[in-house]
A and B are shown apart, each in its own frame.
Chain A
Amino acid sequence: MGTKFNLDRKPVTDEEINSHKDFGELVNKFKKQSIEKARSDVNFLKNKKATYSAIIAGVAVVCTVTYFAVFKKEPPKETANDKIVTTQQQHTSTPETKLNKAFIAPPISKLNVPYTSYKVKAEQGATIKHKSNSKIIIPKKAFVDKQGQDIVGEVEIKYREFHNQADIIASGIPMTYDSAGVQSHFESAGMIDIKGYQNGEPVFINPKKQITVEFSSEHTADRYNMYELDTVAKNWTYLSRDNSLVNKKQLKPNTQSEVAMIEKKDSPKAQEIQKLIDAIPPKIEAEKITYTKKVNQLPKTIEPSKPTKAIAGRPQFELEVNYKEFPELEAFKNAVFEVGAENKNYNSKLADITWSSAEVSEGPQKGKNYLLTLKLRERVEKLVVYPALTGVDYDKALKSYESKFADYKNLVIKKEADEKRLKEEFEAKQATYLAEQKRLGEEYIKEKIRWQREQQSQLNNAMQDFTSQAIVTRVFSLSNFGIFNSDCPNSLPKGASINPIYVTNEKPIMPNTIYLICHNKNLVYNLQYGTLKFNPKDAYSLCIISNGKMYLCNKETFSSIASSKENKIPLTELSNEVNDAIDLRKAIGI
């Protein structure tokens, strides 16, 4: 009730407001508050219930530890992404650490590249032929145990290969390479992961021997180096230049059906744009109808007739008028109708006739004169008559007229303004639609050109594959087990960039991992969230991991975004349809 009302209070300046802004203070308060909350949670433990819970939990831990101490004989079951043996770890008794698991982890739990297991008699050695045509050549007495003693008997070799971007992503093996602080990303000619076990215990390669892997690679260039993954240093170690290309052989050319043909019809995106363009003229037409309707609904303006004073001596008629039919005659109440001079057929005798009917209709000058039709049997006389007033009636009518004319003028001004506003509104909407039509038209042409280029490029690539796809053998000479690759470091792509917003089903998602897959090279860039750089001449897909789910922006969509400079990147969830690297490869379109 007693609330104070301030009128036109002096506003607070931006400087004053900004002087109170202190985000650091806010974060400090927040942190302090969080610590206090954490402390109060700790205090909770001091109460009795919490103490009992702690005792029960403690007993459970002791029981669990005892169980493992007594029954731990069998090695833990192995998954593909753990048990990575490194150079340093070969000499330790516990090769698996939490660190390794975190360092090499498939992006989603069900995705991985499985190992193939081979049994080898250590004292005999063997040459194993892998399903990819790669060969693992194991000499006699190639293994020692952790004490350095020769191993006799059956050794299990676990082996897997990584050939393409899907394999690389699925493996979770980091493909970034830090050389003296300069980070690069590996373009791969192939990668292997090999390890050996006897009775579940890791074995090591005899320092006097080497295992040779003749790796079948689809990548024929000779720009690659050999690297080994050091999972402790969390970096790749350069081994040597890869000069091991052997047995280059031509593959059978692709069949004609695999060659992409330039489609004459528009791309799906162009078809969508065309639909949008086609929808615009009906929208403009609808706006036009609405505009016309609104204009017609504006109040009608009828100019009131100025009363005329009756001229003495001019022939007159007194007539009853339906004022509803002729509202402008309202001002002429008690009016007489003077016969106009233009009526050549008029003579004074007409006034003496008792006419059976006298009708008033619009005259030649609308609102000014009227047509009086007099009838008696077959005789019809038409006279142009003018309403006129006499004496007090005239003065009264003139006054009324002046007031009505002023209203009329105001109404006309208002109506004109309303009409102008409606017209402007309509024209603005029309202009917006036309601009949209123009923009879409340009987009359509761009998309058409892009589509044609892409089709052409696909055809060229297919033709290139047709003539040059080959398999070569790359030779890995191994003195220890681990992960090795034949790769070529690449810096981040340049030429174009966007600040991406990743969306799925119109909702934004925050990526945990971003893989930019280059389709022109066997290369996956593992990126941080932020500006996305790419080479506009290359083709890319994007694979995003967010909250344990995998999403894809395929080559076509990425290309369209890259050319349109959009920053919203639509993603499709892959988690349900991708169960292994082969599914992923298909999804990516490699």
Chain B
Amino acid sequence: MLLDAVHMEFSPRYHHTADMLLDEQMIIEAAKQNPEHFGPLYDKYYKQIFGYVYQRMDDKDTAFDLTAQVFLKALTNIEKYEYKGVPFASWLYRIAHSEVMQLFRNNSKLRTVNADISDLRNICEEVEEEYMEQYKGILMTVIKDLPEDELQLIELRFFEKRAFKEIAEILNLTETNAKVKLYRILERVKKTLTKTSK
């Protein structure tokens, strides 16, 4: 199993050059002084944060409301934000993650898993199994029945195609820890698939 698989395309949204980070930091510092300066960050990250929230539920209105809530929390707490050399997005995702989890704690029925068929193929490739139609149902069952923390790893890695560095930032794990956890989940998935193919 190659967790850093080269064949899977990962989202470039997390990748920032040093200059981009500096530019962003300037805006953050300005926003700390005046909330009106938060605008560029709101514009830049709105779609990403909405995408993150909506990925985990079906109710679009709730997703939009929650996105607004994430940005309000971010603006309220921006003074506490400290630059740690990673994009501001990480901090926003953490807020979004916390808000989404809170929502599911209150109403677990809202939780859904959303993926494309190509994502399931990627999982098969990752566990070195050739994708077969019969795997579709099995994978869907295995994934949706995963404990929440494991499901999040699969979602972030395969359905949202995030780099491990970013996953670690969002889930507050080390990069290695995220890799090891995902490796273990995939091993279990592989076993299930192998059993089925026999």
- Give residues in A with beta carbon < 8 Å to B: 1-9, 12, 14, 17, 20-21, 23, 25-27, 29-31, 33, 501, 503, 507-510, 567-568
Contact = CB atoms under 8 A, between A and B. Distances in A.
Interface string B26-65: 1001100101101100110011001000100010100010
Counting chain A CB atoms within 10 Å of each CB, the highest count among B46, B120, B151 belongs to B46
Given A3-B111, A7-B120, 11 more contacts: A5-B115, A5-B141, A6-B112, A6-B114, A7-B115, A7-B140, A14-B47, A20-B64, A20-B67, A510-B26, A510-B29
Interface stretch (B69-77, B167-175, B185-193): B69-77
B72 A17 contact: no
A17 B47 CA distance: 7
A128 to B, nearest CB: 46
A31 B35 contact: yes
Given A20-B67, A508-B25, A510-B29, A3 B83 contact: no
Contact of B29 (A3, A8, A30, A508): A508
B116 interface: yes
A26 B68 contact: yes
28 contacts: A2-B109, A3-B111, A3-B112, A3-B144, A4-B58, A4-B112, A4-B144, A6-B112, A6-B114, A7-B115, A7-B116, A8-B117, A20-B64, A21-B46, A23-B42, A26-B38, A26-B68, A26-B71, A26-B72, A27-B35, A27-B36, A29-B68, A30-B35, A507-B25, A510-B26, A510-B33, A567-B19, A568-B22
Contacts of B35: 27, 30-31
Contacts of A567: 19
Contact of B113 (A3, A21, A29, A31): A3
Contacts of A30: 35, 72, 75-76
Counting chain B CB atoms within 10 Å of each CB, the highest count among A8, A20, A31, A33 belongs to A20
A6 B55 CA distance: 10
Contacts of A23: 38-39, 42-43
A148 to B, nearest CB: 48
Contacts of B144: 3-5
A4 B113 contact: yes
Contact of B22 (A1, A14, A31, A503): A503
- 10 closest A-B pairs by CB: A510-B29, A3-B144, A4-B112, A5-B140, A5-B144, A508-B25, A20-B64, A5-B113, A6-B114, A501-B22
B143 A5 contact: yes
Contacts of A6: 58, 112-115
B23 interface: yes
Interface of B: 19, 22-23, 25-26, 29-30, 33, 35-36, 38-39, 42-43, 46-47, 50, 54, 58, 60, 64, 67-68, 71-72, 75-76, 83, 109, 111-117, 120, 136, 140-141, 143-145, 151
Contacts of B54: 12
Contacts of B38: 23, 26-27
A421 to B, nearest CB: 10
Contacts of B64: 20
B82 to A, nearest CB: 11
A33 B72 contact: yes
A31 B144 CA distance: 41
A237 B12 CA distance: 57
A499 to B, nearest CB: 9
A55 B22 CA distance: 49
A75 B39 CA distance: 50
A23 B75 CA distance: 11
A9 B114 CA distance: 7
Contacts of B117: 7-8
Contacts of A27: 35-36, 38, 75
A387 to B, nearest CB: 38
Nearest to A16: B60
Nearest to A19: B64
A171 to B, nearest CB: 26
